[in-house]
Structure 1
Amino acid sequence: MEGTSQSDETHRDDHEDDLASARAGDEDAFARLVTPYRRELRLHCYRMLGSTADAADAEQETLVRAWQGLARFDGRHLRAWLYRIATNRCLTLSERRGRRELPVALGAGATEVAWLEPLPGSWLEASPEDQTVDRETVRLAFVAALQHLPASQRAVLLLREVLAFRAAEVAGILDLTVAAVNSLLQRARAAVADGLPPAPASYDGGLDALADRYARAWEAGDVDQIVALLADDVRYSMPPLPRWYAGLADVTAFLRSGPVRESWRFLPTTANGQLAFGTYMRDAERGEFRPGGLDVLTVEDGRVTEVVAFLEADFTAFGLPVSLPVQR
């Protein structure tokens, strides 16, 4: 049998000291307790709510409620206790905002959700190992598919499959029986599997080259070069607009109908762990390029399989300028 290491004992002692100090009103001690969990809690709230603004609010409310509820915390399983507060807060927010209007009927495999917000790369800052896991669980297709689930199924799926809590722990977090947790998980798995495209194959080797070709083609207004980079089953949507395009012919017709006739500049960034561009359209009256949308690309086998152009994205959250000069 392995004994408890000295470092484990020291960590436990520090935790108990900080908990006692926090209960006595020491905010710095409370910060030391919760800071290791803040990033993952924020990402959990984003997966639950599909909105960075709502997720940030839910994270802050979680910390406030945790601070106010320290007297009722039994001192064990701090992470699970924080997730209990955060998850239930997200469930409450989901109930209050009700069922939001979805885009027009989507075809099989389409995953766009009108209110889904893109996730800045800064939210994924962590160790390389954590970044790899996070990228797969915040991809647009996955987060969008989650939003189609009832909130209780969404919570169970995330707690069990993404965060690896045991069924009994999830039951405690959500005040359910283990049987109810298992039933909700089974239904959530089936629903997500039906609506979620296969995870894209890794395509790191030529991604920079593809990004450069894609941006240059748009800036040159070269539809043929853009289309050459698209998959046959490509999808294109522009939240919050309900219109969407599916298939190479449909997307090509859309591009030729107007967008490529404008003058564009593209700056690369990342969103949801995926290749993205801040797109800027020339404003002749202002004599500058103004934001046109944040385009998030899904790339598989060297081709772009989906473009989601978020027309109302906050460029500053992605490290992008709010305008570009005509000459650069």
Structure 2
Amino acid sequence: MDRSAVLLEAAKGGDEDAFSRLVEPVLGELHAHCYRMLGSDHDAEDCVQETLLRAWKSLHRFDGVALRAWLYKIATNRCLTLIERRGRRELPTDLSTPHAEATWLEPYPEQRLAWTAQLGPEARVVALESVELAFIASLQHLSALQRAVLLLREVLEFAASEVAELLDTSVAAVNSALQRARKVLTAVGPDVTQQATLDRLGEAEQREITRRYMAAWEAGDVDAIVALLTDDAKYSMPPLPLWFAGHDGIREFLLAGPLRSRWRFVPTTANGQLAFGTYMWEDGRYIAKGLDLLVLRGPAIAEVVSFLDADFSDFGLATELTE
């Protein structure tokens, strides 16, 4: 009897520790799947916990075959319920008319992606690309079913027959939903190549972008900041619904607001992408203000999303810095 079978038998006998060890290898990728579906780290965590609770309660009905698929079935269906109840999440740049009532996308902490280190090079690139912010934002344009089918088929590579079983539907319905999802993403989805871009740039070029961006902000040099941007760059700050575009628009915004203060930037990563914890000088110390996630196009910055409500501790960042 192999280890999984031993753990399953013990778990069915009421051993909670055996159950935890049984499901542990799947938890990282399952959490990432829930994040892709929901666009929220916190909702994904709640969904995973609910999945584990339901799996534990129904373990006596599990036949011992395909544990991973069984957990994905529970998690995906829970995500579908949440999406229908809460609607889609947004970035300010996706709104035709800005409104503060929108439910915003959340950044994804690097610690959540530790499980990808166990993957081969190609599989790891796919896993990282599938949590990039642009891809997560594009998924929000899909219906709940389309989102589930696309992720299960093209990211997780389940067969159409497996997806049909996971979603309690037909293969024809799965194939139809996948076609519609691809069509929508072709129309609205950006070219999701951030991780590949970082790989092509190399570590030295990544460090140079990091150095220049930090130095420009900490010097309050608007010209240096703008020089790092593409001509059509975008700058947003959820939960604020407004956003700014192009060199002139971003320059005007920075001079009228942020660059009137002193800043310190601490590099980190979010969604597998370059990010910074930003700190503004207040009352004799630097106070955490936002998590800036950068979307690169080659060596230039195509978008900055500053998550003003980000929990800095999730990204290994302090809440304040001294001089």
Q: Please give the TM-score of this superposition, normalised by the length of structure 2.
A: 0.91
Contact 2:92 2:241 in 1 (8 A): yes
Task: Render the CA deviation track for 1:264-314: whole Å, top value 9, x for unaligned.
Answer: 11000000000000001111xx32111111000011221111100001100
Return closer, same or farther for 1:181/1:65 CA change in 2, 3 Å cut-off.
same
SS of match in other structure, 1:203: helix
Letter in 2 for 1:83: Y
Contact 1:157 1:188 in 2 (8 A): yes
Equivalent position amino acid for 1:136 in 2: E
Structure 2 gap ranges (5+): 97-101
Instruction: Give the number of equivalent residue pairs.
Output: 308
Deviation per residue, 1:46-68 (Å, 9 max, x gap) = 11111111100100110111111
The answer to whether the 8 Å contact 2:91/2:137 transfers is no
Structure 1, residues 16-62: CA drift from partner, whole Å, max 9, x if none? Answer: 22212111111122122211100000100111111111100100110
Q: Secondary structure at the match of 1:158?
A: helix
Q: For the residues of structure 1 that align with 2:85 and 2:212, how far apart are their CA atoms?
A: 44
Partner of 1:79: 68
Find the counterpart in structure 2 of residue 195 from structure 1.
188
1:170-319 equivalences in 2 (<5 Å): 170-198=163-191, 199-200=193-194, 201=197, 202-204=200-202, 205-283=204-282, 286-319=283-316
Give the Cα separation in 1 of the matches to 2:301 and 2:134: 14
Point out the structure with max Rg over C-alpha. Answer: 1
Q: 1:104 to 1:271 in 2, by over 3 A?
A: closer
Structure 1 position 190, deviation (Å): 1.2
- What is the root-mean-square deviation of aligned Cα atoms in Å? 1.8
Gaps of 5+ in 1: 1-9, 108-112
Do structure 1's residue 50 and structure 2's residue 49 form an aligned pair? no
Q: Output the CA distance in 2 between the equivalents of 1:192 and 1:171.
A: 21
For structure 1, which segment, 240-249 or 265-274, has the greater mean C-alpha deviation from structure 2 after superposition?
A: 240-249
Residues 124 and 131 of structure 1 are in contact (CA less than 8 Å); yes or no, is this contact kept in structure 2? no
Q: Cα distance, 1:153 vs. partner?
A: 0.7
Alignment of structure 1 residues 82-161 onto 2, 5 Å: 82-99=71-88, 103=92, 106=95, 115-126=104-115, 127=117, 129=120, 131-161=124-154
SS at match of 1:125: helix
Equivalent residue in structure 1 for 2:20, among 6, 28, 31: 31
| Amino acid of the structure 2 residue aligned with 1:309 | S
C-alpha deviations, 1:49-106, integer Å up to 9, x for none?
Answer: 1111110010011011111111111221111110000000111111222356774764
- The amino acid that maps onto 1:47 is R
Instruction: Name the CA distance, whole Å, in 1 between partners of 2:94 and 2:269.
Output: 29
Contact 2:91/2:105 (<8 A) preserved: no
In 2: Cα distance, 1:233 partner to 1:98 partner: 29
1:163 maps onto 2:156 in alignment: yes
TM-score normalised over the length of structure 1: 0.89
Moved more, 20-29 or 219-228: 20-29
- What is the one-letter code of the residue matched to 2:153? R
2:99 maps to what in 1?
none
d(CA) in 2 for partners of 1:100 and 1:276? Answer: 21
Letter of the structure 1 residue corresponding to residue 310 of structure 2: A
